[in-house]
Amino acid sequence: MKRLVLVRHGKSSWDNDLPDHRRPLKNRAYKDAEVVLNSFQNFYEPGGLFWSSHAVRAHETAKIFKERLKVPDDHFEVKEELYTFNQNDLLSVIQSCGDETDKLIVFGHNPAMTILVNSLGDKRIDNLPTTGLCVIDFEVDSWEDIRKGKTILTLMPKNLR
């Protein structure tokens, strides 16, 4: 079995005149991460890999999760190719994960995240909001074979406040 956890980056700031990948998190992102993590930590079982886009907003969100869930450094990786808004590119990166890994937690961007949640999972959502999290299980042995899985958890900050 393979378990994929997709997490959209936290709410980012448009206050500064920065390139898109350099935009920081807003204060709200930290509060949203806290409420999502309060629920997710009861579900989370240690292990697996954490992969994050190199964009500041995604990387900072991933670091919040890493610290709270006590993820070891060698299970945490920043991948430049996760800075994509295209679901096919995102899926290709996920499918490149080694099969010795059974759980992969990915921090990335919309619209790729929402489209992938809907195409891989069995429960449709309109939008994976900032700091939204979705867990999908697949009855396969290889990441290359993930197609249609079972959505087992969806956490959205507004529903947890």
CA 73, 75, 80: angle at the middle one, nearest 5? 90
Residue-level pLDDT at 91: 98
| Assigned superfamily of 2-160 | Phosphoglycerate mutase-like (3.40.50.1240)
Residue type, 64: I
Contact 77, 67 (CB under 8 A): no
Burial class (CB in 10 A: 0-12, 13-18, 19+), 37: buried
User: Over 80: is that where the pLDDT of 16 sits?
Assistant: no
- The answer, yes or no, to whether residue 20 has pLDDT greater than 90, is no
Given a cut of 80, whether residue 106 has pLDDT beyond it is yes
Average pLDDT for residues 90-105, to the nearest whole number?
98
The secondary structure of 60-128, three-state, reads HHHHHHHHHCCCCHHHEEECHHHCCCCHHHHHHHHHCCCCCCCEEEEEECCCHHHHHHHHHCCCCCCCC
What's the distance, CA 104 to chain centroid? 9
**Domain ranges across the chain:** 2-160
What the block records as the tokens of 37 is 């993590």
* pLDDT, tens only, 24-68: 899 999 999 999 999 999 999 999 999 999 999 999 999 999 999
Pairing of strands 76-78, 49-52: parallel
Share the mean pLDDT of the chain.
Answer: 96
DSSP class of residue 153 equals: E
Query: What are 2's strand-pairing partners?
Result: 138
12 pLDDT exceeds 90?
A: yes
